Amino acid sequence: MVGLVGEPRTVFDDDPSARFVASAVTETLVRRDAHDELTPRLAESVPTLENGDLRVATDDADAPDGRLVATFRLRDTKWQDGVPITATDVRFAWQQDKADTPGTLTRWMADRISDIQILSTREVRVLYRNGERWDDYALGPRVMPSHRLAQATPEQRVAYAREPVHAGAFAIAAWLPGSITLSAYQGYVLGTPKLGRLEIHFFPSRAAALQALLRGEIDIAPWPVLEADLAKTLDRFADGTHLLAHYVPTEAASLLRFGSNLKRFGNPLVREAILLTVDRQSIVDDVFVGRARVPRTYLVPPQWAAAEDVPPAGPDRDRARALLVEAGFSKGQFGIVERGGERMTTTIGVAAGSQARTDVARRVAGDLAAIGIAADVRERAPADLAAEVQRGEFDLAITSEEAADPQLASERWAGIVDPWFDVLARLATEAPDRVEKRAIYTEMERIWTSALPALPLYQELRVDVAPQGLAGIQPAPSGSALSWNVYEWSFLLR
């Protein structure tokens, strides 16, 4: 019995509950596994330079900087309705993704591809855009059932998004308000799933899901249903029970982002003062029982491009106060610093729904008060906060930043850090291998740290709770839904 927080409208919604369901009922050509390695799923193999299915074409007039060309061969398998999966379904999916809303992940990935050519019934050639040297190239192409969607009406597409017939290990047997029943797909490409059925229940809040877990009403709570700030509670609860909490560092971090208002946090002296004020190690120790780590930059280990993890220096609030004086601030009424008669009062925006982030925001506000900055914590709907950050209409905001793909993570900071950062970001996309890319990203991280557009607070930990007797659970550091390998789950015989 699986417990999730929030019931999605469709399987393809952009939220954790939908992603858990989608990962169980849909399938991809290639995925990343628990070791962050590319592994084939619907594809027979991952195209690589070593096996000859990946090459850099330098003789294409439309790609003067060279382009990656990958050949994918599909396994002989079928959709859940029995229709064979073909190369046409790969090209169809790319065409659909190219028409997706700009800014979405599917559109971003589709835009990395210049063309998909059908070579045979089960073979495609993928041409990436000029100069592209994308490390996640094999994750770009995917499949959609063209026989169901090519001529579908808008109403049929809506129905499909609710209960898709795809190629995953499980199919949706019933979706009732508050719950979904998934049944094993006997013809699944990697073999019949070892579990015959999954029951998923949706809860209105994390507190409700936790209580259901404590009462034994559910026995699987995948991240982010529960967060690492519950480590003390989970450790006490799991001791002597049949449940086990899996903690895995993710390739994501929560950052305190600074607004660009030059009178406030656009001033580099003020940002450095905050760097020397917020006790990030104390936050990690108190909120996450020391299980998380303080990241150095926007990329975090075990991400391959992340710079070596060196512990940050501790707070130096005397130096921080001196920097504020250097920036023109002086102590004012009630201990709040001011400049030109204007008090340094601010708001820390934080996305609602994560008690951990809210607790951290309050800790940050308390630390800022020590140097005379009065900060008020305000929870915002995640979409509203994201829009405000995108528009630059904020002073301080704590946001969760994914970094599984260093290219995508770097592009989020384009135009914000430094012109040379943007130049290096383009060079990184064109670098031929990870060795050269890593050297470029290391320099980008140095520039980012110097400019300090945000303060990395803590590396996000995922915590997945499951029965001790359930074998096959493998949380992935890339942030993939726990169900990425659900076909392997099985109960141990006692």
Question: Pick from 27, 35, 124, 122: which is nearest to 80 by CA?
Answer: 27
Least confident of 204-208, 238-242, 385-389: 238-242
State which of 23-27, 212-216, 281-285, 468-472 shows the largest mean pLDDT: 23-27
**To 5 degrees, how large is the angle CA 99–CA 55–CA 427?**
70
Tokens of 372: 């005379």
Q: Write out pLDDT tens, residues 311-338.
A: 666 799 999 999 999 999 998 888 899 9
Domain boundaries, the chain: 250-461
Q: What percent of the chain has pLDDT over 70?
A: 96
Q: List Cβ neighbours of 428 (8 Å cut-off, separation of 6 or more).
A: 133, 406, 407, 410, 437, 440, 441, 444
Contact 409, 299 (CB under 8 A): yes
Range 451-481 burial, b when 16+ CB lie within 10 A, else e:
ebbbbbbbbbbbbbbbbeebeebbbbbbbbb
Q: What is the pLDDT of residue 262?
A: 62
pLDDT beyond 80 at 240: no
461-479 average pLDDT score: 87
Q: Write out pLDDT tens, residues 96-152.
A: 999 998 888 899 999 999 999 999 999 999 999 998 888 889 999 999 999 999 999
Architecture of domain 250-461: Roll (3.10)
Task: Find residue 318's DSSP bridge partners.
Answer: none
148-168 average pLDDT score: 95
359-379 average pLDDT score: 95
